[in-house]
Amino acid sequence: MFERPRIIREAPSYLAVYKPPGMHSAPLRTGEGGTLLEWAASRFPGILRVRGRKALEGGLLHRLDYGTSGLALIARNQAALEALASEQERDGFVKEYEAFSAGRREKPLPGFPPWGGEIPPPGESFEVTGAFRHYGPGRRAVRPLPAGAPGKRVYRTVLTMKGQGEGSRFTATITRGFRHQIRCHLAWIGWPLLNDGLYGGAGGGDFPALRSRGLRFTDPDTGKTVVIRI
């Protein structure tokens, strides 16, 4: 059954919205419909008057990939967007994901440098860090660059493996995010997502097995920490 968007939490300064897989978060070009932002704006028109990082994004704080499901946050006014965007830049806005791997891949994909790290036993957290570059035809994918690449911002993914073998589950936590960050980092360590053919993950499903399941940030109005989970 086709999933539909829904409001998870409504507050004076923000909306937490569920995005189903197979829907763009925001328009990629003027006039594009069928996006999560358009759906939310049909109920809360004021979010389109917020001036986001890009003109077409309104109050949207972060995008989810087309195939990724789960929580997205939308600011309802300009002051809220600026406060939350500033918190993201300070690495204070935390996003948690659930990811299912297609299983261990021994041979690295083209364009991937050696990772060089070690994966601890299940239940222990570890970090994957580095910068990114666009890669491949149409720049559809990204590839990691080791931390220390000159002039490049470093992004961090904190991973915890919940089991080993085919179908292993990970939790992934990020603050600032880069396009395909979690997908790329899991492929880099040799555990690509299930159904993620772009990054070497096998499977017969339509979308990569990745879900945004938790957000933690500061309420711009109250100053209190907000935790939202699905």
**CATH code of the domain made up of 102-208:** 3.30.2350.10
| Domain boundaries along the sequence of the chain | 6-91, 102-208
Mean pLDDT by 10 residues, the chain (230 residues): 88 98 92 93 97 90 96 98 96 97 90 91 94 94 85 93 76 96 97 96 92 98 97
Domains 6-91 and 102-208 share a fold: yes
What pLDDT is recorded for position 150? Answer: 79
Q: How far apart are CA 193 and CA 122, in angstroms?
A: 17
pTM higher than 0.75, yes or no?
yes
What SS3 class is residue 213?
strand
Q: How far apart are CA 48 and CA 84, in angstroms?
A: 17
What pLDDT is recorded for position 185? Answer: 97
Q: How many CA atoms lie within 13 A of 110 on its CB side?
A: 6
What pLDDT is recorded for position 1? Answer: 45
What pLDDT is recorded for position 106? Answer: 87
What pLDDT is recorded for position 54? Answer: 84
Task: Determine whether domain 6-91 maps to CATH 3.30.2350.10.
Answer: yes
Q: Name the CA radius of gyration of the chain, rounded.
A: 18
